[in-house]
Amino acid sequence: MTVLSSQNDIRILITETEIAARTTQLARLISDEYKDTKQLVVVGLLRGSFVFIADLVRRIDLPVEVDFMTVSSYGNAMESSRQVRIIQDLMTPIEGRDVLIVEDIVDTGHTLSQVYDILQTREPASLRVCALLNKPSRREIDVVIDWVGFDIPDEFVIGYGIDYAQQGRNLPHIGVVSK
């Protein structure tokens, strides 16, 4: 199945250079915030966050432990189902530890809210959130995002780990898919 017929179906919204610069800024802010932490647990929400989390943790200037949760609310659609499924849970115990959730994009807030609530029941010392992209105009549930890379308009985006029907994750930029 071919969903995107060509790169012409994509308009660049955020360049590779802009992403790299902002990721470096976020890593500095996070490093400052957690400078007294013995070891930060960074939790990436798969699959979309894998590129961002890899770049982010390499720039964080303190010891980190990385773990992942696989969650889904989109399937192959362009609209969230609002039904969040946890497909794979953490392997790392987080009780009493500082935890940073790293999300690729916060849209309606349903996924982040549910993941946050689940992790909060595990009694971390702190629980904060960093998202590469934020669509505030689509928010249905109030969520706190401590660090945001970019606020974006209500358009369907791909690239830098984010997909449309499993395509486009390998793009080095954030692009808007033409409908």
Kindly tell me the number of DSSP H helices and DSSP E strands found in the chain.
3, 9
Q: How far apart are CA 170 and CA 168, in angstroms?
A: 5
Does residue 178 sit within a domain? no
Range of the domain at 115: 18-173
74 vs 115 pLDDT, higher one: 115
Per residue in 114-151, pLDDT (tens digit) is: 999 999 999 999 999 999 999 999 999 999 999 999 99
What average pLDDT does the segment 147-157 reach? 96
Q: Max alpha carbon distance in the chain (Å)?
A: 49
Q: Which of 157, 177, 167 is nearest to 19 (CA)?
A: 157
- Give the domain CATH number at 74: 3.40.50.2020
Instruction: Mean pLDDT check: name the lowest of 68-77, 93-102, 109-118, 151-160.
Output: 68-77
Smallest Cα–Cα separation from 133: which of 4, 23, 5, 1?
23
**Banded model confidence at residue 39, pLDDT cuts 50, 70, 90:** confident
**pTM of the full structure:** 0.90
Report residue 1's pLDDT band, with 50, 70 and 90 as the boundaries: very low
Q: How confident is the model at residue 4 (pLDDT cuts 50, 70, 90)?
A: low
Residue 11 lies in a domain: no
Average pLDDT over residues 30-50: 94
Angle at 56 between CA 75 and CA 112, to 5 degrees: 40
At 8, the pLDDT band (50, 70, 90 cuts) reads: low
Alpha helices (H) in 34-95, listed in sequence order: 50-59
pLDDT at residue 7 greater than cutoff 70: no
Number of domains in the chain: 1
Handedness of CA 126, 20, 61, 54 (dihedral sign): positive
Average pLDDT over residues 17-41: 96
Closest CA to 118 of 156, 81, 71, 155: 71
Amino acid identity, position 35: K
If pLDDT is split at 50, 70 and 90, which confidence band does 81 have? low
- Residues belonging to the active site: 107
